[in-house]
Amino acid sequence: MKNTNRILLLIATLTLFAGCGTVYRVLLGVDISPNWKTDERIAKDAKKYKIPSEFNLVMDTVGFYSELRATYKNIFANLDIKDGDSTEYFKARNVLKDDGQPVQFRLFDKQGTEIFKMVNCYVDPPIPMSWNVDGCFDTFPAQTNIKSLNVHNFGIDLFLSNSTTLNKKQFSLEDLPEADYYGVILWNDFYIKPSKKLIKTVRKYIEDSNENVVLLYIHNHNSYLWQVMDAENKNKVKDYYKEEREKKIEKERKRTEKRNRLVHL
Protein backbone atom coordinates (compact mmCIF):
# COMPACT_ATOMS: atom_id res chain seq x y z
CA MET A 1 0.00 0.00 0.00
CA LYS A 2 2.82 2.40 0.89
CA ASN A 3 4.58 1.76 -2.44
CA THR A 4 1.31 2.29 -4.31
CA ASN A 5 0.76 5.63 -2.57
CA ARG A 6 4.32 6.73 -3.36
CA ILE A 7 3.85 5.96 -7.06
CA LEU A 8 0.48 7.72 -7.17
CA LEU A 9 1.90 10.75 -5.37
CA LEU A 10 4.79 10.95 -7.84
CA ILE A 11 2.41 10.85 -10.80
CA ALA A 12 0.18 13.48 -9.20
CA THR A 13 3.12 15.76 -8.49
CA LEU A 14 4.17 15.55 -12.12
CA THR A 15 0.68 16.70 -13.12
CA LEU A 16 0.79 19.66 -10.73
CA PHE A 17 2.45 21.86 -13.33
CA ALA A 18 0.81 20.29 -16.37
CA GLY A 19 -0.90 22.92 -18.47
CA CYS A 20 -2.67 23.21 -21.77
CA GLY A 21 -0.91 22.46 -25.05
CA THR A 22 1.40 24.99 -26.69
CA VAL A 23 -1.06 26.04 -29.41
CA TYR A 24 -3.81 26.43 -26.80
CA ARG A 25 -1.49 28.54 -24.63
CA VAL A 26 -0.64 30.83 -27.56
CA LEU A 27 -4.33 31.34 -28.31
CA LEU A 28 -4.91 32.18 -24.66
CA GLY A 29 -2.35 34.95 -24.81
CA VAL A 30 0.41 33.11 -22.99
CA ASP A 31 4.12 33.90 -23.13
CA ILE A 32 5.64 30.48 -23.88
CA SER A 33 9.19 31.69 -23.15
CA PRO A 34 8.80 33.83 -20.00
CA ASN A 35 11.68 35.54 -18.19
CA TRP A 36 12.45 35.94 -14.51
CA LYS A 37 10.93 39.12 -13.03
CA THR A 38 12.82 41.60 -10.87
CA ASP A 39 11.03 43.49 -8.08
CA GLU A 40 11.23 46.62 -10.20
CA ARG A 41 9.49 44.91 -13.09
CA ILE A 42 6.82 43.43 -10.82
CA ALA A 43 6.11 46.89 -9.41
CA LYS A 44 5.87 48.33 -12.92
CA ASP A 45 3.46 45.60 -14.05
CA ALA A 46 1.35 46.03 -10.92
CA LYS A 47 1.11 49.75 -11.59
CA LYS A 48 -0.04 48.99 -15.14
CA TYR A 49 -2.91 46.94 -13.70
CA LYS A 50 -3.59 49.61 -11.05
CA ILE A 51 -2.91 47.19 -8.21
CA PRO A 52 -2.67 48.96 -4.82
CA SER A 53 0.90 48.65 -3.54
CA GLU A 54 -0.24 47.64 -0.03
CA PHE A 55 -2.06 44.61 -1.45
CA ASN A 56 0.47 43.76 -4.16
CA LEU A 57 2.11 40.59 -2.85
CA VAL A 58 4.78 38.33 -4.30
CA MET A 59 4.67 34.59 -3.74
CA ASP A 60 7.69 32.98 -2.12
CA THR A 61 9.85 31.20 -4.69
CA VAL A 62 9.74 27.83 -2.96
CA GLY A 63 7.41 27.92 0.05
CA PHE A 64 3.92 27.82 -1.45
CA TYR A 65 4.44 24.88 -3.79
CA SER A 66 6.44 22.99 -1.14
CA GLU A 67 3.52 23.30 1.27
CA LEU A 68 1.09 22.40 -1.50
CA ARG A 69 3.04 19.20 -2.18
CA ALA A 70 3.19 18.41 1.53
CA THR A 71 -0.57 18.88 1.86
CA TYR A 72 -1.28 16.46 -0.96
CA LYS A 73 1.36 14.03 0.22
CA ASN A 74 -0.72 13.61 3.36
CA ILE A 75 -3.94 13.39 1.39
CA PHE A 76 -2.62 10.68 -0.91
CA ALA A 77 -1.03 8.79 1.99
CA ASN A 78 -4.43 8.60 3.69
CA LEU A 79 -6.34 7.41 0.64
CA ASP A 80 -7.85 3.95 0.96
CA ILE A 81 -6.87 2.68 -2.48
CA LYS A 82 -7.75 -0.93 -3.20
CA ASP A 83 -6.17 -2.96 -5.96
CA GLY A 84 -7.65 -1.92 -9.28
CA ASP A 85 -9.62 0.94 -7.73
CA SER A 86 -8.06 4.36 -8.18
CA THR A 87 -11.24 6.46 -8.30
CA GLU A 88 -10.38 8.39 -5.15
CA TYR A 89 -6.85 8.95 -6.41
CA PHE A 90 -8.05 10.50 -9.68
CA LYS A 91 -10.47 12.75 -7.78
CA ALA A 92 -7.65 13.99 -5.56
CA ARG A 93 -5.32 14.37 -8.53
CA ASN A 94 -7.81 16.63 -10.30
CA VAL A 95 -8.08 18.84 -7.22
CA LEU A 96 -4.29 19.00 -7.00
CA LYS A 97 -4.06 20.02 -10.67
CA ASP A 98 -6.59 22.80 -10.07
CA ASP A 99 -4.76 24.05 -6.99
CA GLY A 100 -1.49 24.23 -8.92
CA GLN A 101 -2.74 26.36 -11.82
CA PRO A 102 -0.93 29.66 -12.46
CA VAL A 103 -3.95 32.01 -12.63
CA GLN A 104 -6.66 31.71 -9.99
CA PHE A 105 -9.30 33.53 -7.99
CA ARG A 106 -10.20 32.39 -4.50
CA LEU A 107 -12.79 33.76 -2.11
CA PHE A 108 -12.60 33.34 1.68
CA ASP A 109 -14.95 34.22 4.52
CA LYS A 110 -13.89 36.49 7.39
CA GLN A 111 -12.32 33.52 9.21
CA GLY A 112 -10.11 32.76 6.20
CA THR A 113 -12.04 29.64 5.19
CA GLU A 114 -12.19 29.11 1.45
CA ILE A 115 -15.68 29.15 -0.03
CA PHE A 116 -14.97 29.44 -3.78
CA LYS A 117 -12.21 29.04 -6.32
CA MET A 118 -11.85 29.30 -10.10
CA VAL A 119 -8.70 28.54 -12.09
CA ASN A 120 -7.51 29.24 -15.63
CA CYS A 121 -8.14 25.79 -17.12
CA TYR A 122 -11.90 26.28 -17.00
CA VAL A 123 -12.18 29.66 -18.75
CA ASP A 124 -13.81 29.74 -22.18
CA PRO A 125 -10.95 29.84 -24.77
CA PRO A 126 -9.80 31.88 -26.55
CA ILE A 127 -12.45 34.54 -27.16
CA PRO A 128 -14.13 36.01 -25.18
CA MET A 129 -12.19 34.19 -22.45
CA SER A 130 -14.94 34.62 -19.88
CA TRP A 131 -14.05 33.90 -16.26
CA ASN A 132 -17.76 33.77 -15.50
CA VAL A 133 -17.73 30.03 -16.10
CA ASP A 134 -21.28 28.63 -16.09
CA GLY A 135 -22.44 31.88 -14.48
CA CYS A 136 -20.29 31.39 -11.37
CA PHE A 137 -20.09 35.16 -10.80
CA ASP A 138 -23.81 35.74 -11.23
CA THR A 139 -24.37 35.40 -7.47
CA PHE A 140 -22.53 36.41 -4.33
CA PRO A 141 -20.74 34.51 -2.97
CA ALA A 142 -19.68 32.99 -6.28
CA GLN A 143 -20.40 29.30 -6.79
CA THR A 144 -19.64 26.53 -9.26
CA ASN A 145 -20.90 23.04 -10.02
CA ILE A 146 -17.44 21.78 -11.04
CA LYS A 147 -16.77 19.05 -8.49
CA SER A 148 -13.01 19.42 -8.17
CA LEU A 149 -13.36 23.16 -7.57
CA ASN A 150 -15.68 22.49 -4.63
CA VAL A 151 -12.98 20.64 -2.71
CA HIS A 152 -11.15 23.04 -0.40
CA ASN A 153 -8.06 21.62 1.28
CA PHE A 154 -6.62 24.80 2.79
CA GLY A 155 -7.50 28.37 3.78
CA ILE A 156 -6.09 31.82 3.18
CA ASP A 157 -3.20 31.22 5.61
CA LEU A 158 -1.36 29.11 3.02
CA PHE A 159 -1.22 32.12 0.70
CA LEU A 160 -0.45 34.72 3.37
CA SER A 161 2.35 32.70 4.97
CA ASN A 162 4.07 32.27 1.61
CA SER A 163 3.76 35.81 0.23
CA THR A 164 5.16 39.25 1.05
CA THR A 165 4.89 42.76 -0.30
CA LEU A 166 7.79 44.11 -2.36
CA ASN A 167 8.94 45.71 0.89
CA LYS A 168 9.11 42.21 2.40
CA LYS A 169 6.14 42.75 4.70
CA GLN A 170 4.16 39.62 5.49
CA PHE A 171 0.50 39.56 6.50
CA SER A 172 -1.45 37.30 8.77
CA LEU A 173 -5.25 37.29 8.62
CA GLU A 174 -5.29 39.50 11.73
CA ASP A 175 -3.09 42.09 9.97
CA LEU A 176 -5.54 42.60 7.11
CA PRO A 177 -8.28 45.23 7.22
CA GLU A 178 -11.44 43.87 8.77
CA ALA A 179 -13.83 42.60 6.11
CA ASP A 180 -16.65 40.14 5.54
CA TYR A 181 -14.75 38.42 2.75
CA TYR A 182 -11.21 38.20 1.40
CA GLY A 183 -10.36 37.58 -2.23
CA VAL A 184 -7.04 36.36 -3.62
CA ILE A 185 -6.00 36.71 -7.26
CA LEU A 186 -2.97 34.75 -8.45
CA TRP A 187 -1.53 36.50 -11.50
CA ASN A 188 1.65 36.56 -13.54
CA ASP A 189 3.21 37.78 -16.76
CA PHE A 190 3.29 34.62 -18.82
CA TYR A 191 -0.45 33.97 -18.64
CA ILE A 192 -0.88 37.58 -19.71
CA LYS A 193 -4.40 37.66 -21.09
CA PRO A 194 -5.94 35.33 -18.47
CA SER A 195 -4.39 37.43 -15.69
CA LYS A 196 -5.61 40.71 -17.19
CA LYS A 197 -9.12 39.38 -17.78
CA LEU A 198 -9.35 37.88 -14.29
CA ILE A 199 -8.31 41.11 -12.56
CA LYS A 200 -10.86 43.09 -14.56
CA THR A 201 -13.63 40.52 -13.97
CA VAL A 202 -13.11 40.19 -10.23
CA ARG A 203 -12.86 43.93 -9.65
CA LYS A 204 -16.18 44.54 -11.38
CA TYR A 205 -17.74 41.56 -9.61
CA ILE A 206 -16.75 42.86 -6.18
CA GLU A 207 -17.73 46.44 -7.04
CA ASP A 208 -21.17 45.36 -8.26
CA SER A 209 -21.73 43.11 -5.23
CA ASN A 210 -21.60 45.98 -2.71
CA GLU A 211 -20.05 43.51 -0.28
CA ASN A 212 -17.17 44.28 2.07
CA VAL A 213 -14.32 42.45 0.33
CA VAL A 214 -10.58 43.00 0.70
CA LEU A 215 -8.82 41.90 -2.50
CA LEU A 216 -5.22 40.69 -2.47
CA TYR A 217 -3.12 40.31 -5.61
CA ILE A 218 -0.37 37.67 -5.43
CA HIS A 219 2.21 37.72 -8.21
CA ASN A 220 3.32 34.09 -8.64
CA HIS A 221 5.38 34.49 -11.82
CA ASN A 222 8.78 33.62 -10.37
CA SER A 223 7.38 31.07 -7.96
CA TYR A 224 5.71 29.15 -10.78
CA LEU A 225 8.75 29.39 -13.05
CA TRP A 226 11.06 28.11 -10.32
CA GLN A 227 9.16 24.82 -10.16
CA VAL A 228 9.78 24.04 -13.84
CA MET A 229 13.30 25.46 -14.20
CA ASP A 230 16.26 23.17 -14.72
CA ALA A 231 19.33 23.38 -12.48
CA GLU A 232 21.26 25.54 -14.96
CA ASN A 233 18.61 28.26 -15.05
CA LYS A 234 18.13 28.14 -11.29
CA ASN A 235 21.85 28.77 -10.89
CA LYS A 236 21.59 31.74 -13.25
CA VAL A 237 18.87 33.23 -11.07
CA LYS A 238 20.95 32.64 -7.93
CA ASP A 239 23.99 34.25 -9.59
CA TYR A 240 21.89 37.25 -10.59
CA TYR A 241 20.72 37.89 -7.04
CA LYS A 242 24.21 37.32 -5.68
CA GLU A 243 25.54 39.92 -8.12
CA GLU A 244 22.76 42.35 -7.19
CA ARG A 245 23.56 41.95 -3.50
CA GLU A 246 27.25 42.56 -4.15
CA LYS A 247 26.42 45.70 -6.17
CA LYS A 248 24.25 46.96 -3.33
CA ILE A 249 26.98 46.34 -0.77
CA GLU A 250 29.58 48.09 -2.95
CA LYS A 251 27.26 51.04 -3.52
CA GLU A 252 26.70 51.39 0.21
CA ARG A 253 30.45 51.12 0.85
CA LYS A 254 31.16 53.98 -1.55
CA ARG A 255 28.39 56.08 -0.01
CA THR A 256 29.86 55.52 3.45
CA GLU A 257 33.36 56.46 2.26
CA LYS A 258 32.01 59.67 0.74
CA ARG A 259 30.24 60.61 3.97
CA ASN A 260 33.40 59.95 5.96
CA ARG A 261 35.48 62.15 3.67
CA LEU A 262 32.99 64.99 4.05
CA VAL A 263 33.10 64.67 7.81
CA HIS A 264 36.89 65.10 7.83
CA LEU A 265 36.96 68.14 5.56
32-57: pLDDT as tens digits: 456 778 889 999 999 999 999 999 99
Transcribe 159-176 into DSSP letters. Answer: HHTTEEETT-----GGGS
> pLDDT tens across 90-139, in order?
888 899 999 999 999 999 999 999 999 999 989 876 677 899 999 999 99
- Reading phi first (left if > 0) and then psi (alpha if -120 to 50, else beta), residue 182 is in beta
Task: Name the DSSP letter for residue 82.
Answer: P
- Quote the number of domains for the chain: 2
* Residue 99 to residue 207: CA distance in whole angstroms: 26
Question: Could you list the residue range(s) of the whole structural domain that residue 261 is in?
Answer: 231-265
How far is residue 129's CA from residue 185's CA, in Å, rounded to a whole number? 17
Are both 245 and 147 inside the same structural domain?
A: no
Question: What percent of the chain has pLDDT above 70?
Answer: 78
Q: Would you say 74 and 235 are in contact if contact means Cβ atoms under 8 Å apart? A: no
CB atoms closer than 10 angstroms to residue 243: 10
Q: Identify the DSSP state of 5.
A: H
Instruction: Check if the beta carbon of residue 31 is closer than 8 Å to that of residue 189.
Output: yes
Is there a single domain that holds both residue 210 and residue 261?
Answer: no
AA identity, residue 163: S
What's residue 55's pLDDT?
A: 96
**Shared domain check, 238 and 223:** no
**Claim to verify: residue 100 and residue 117 sit in the same structural domain:** yes
Instruction: Tell me how far apart the alpha carbons of residues 40 and 32 are, in angstroms, rounded to a whole number.
Output: 22
For β-strands 181-187 and 104-109, DSSP reports them as antiparallel
Q: 246, 218, 255: which is closest to 64 by C-alpha?
A: 218
This prediction's pTM = 0.79
Q: Are residues 142 and 257 part of one domain?
A: no
Question: Between 9 and 43, where is the model more confident?
Answer: 43
The pLDDT value given to residue 89: 82
**Do residues 108 and 48 share a domain?**
yes
Q: Indicate if 49 and 101 belong to the same structural domain.
A: yes
pLDDT at 185 over 80: yes
For the residues of 218-262, what is the DSSP string, one character each? Answer: EE-HHHHHHHH--HHHHHHHHHHHHHHHHHHHHHHHHHHHHHHHH
CA distance 92 to 79: 9
Residues 130 and 240 both lie in one domain: no
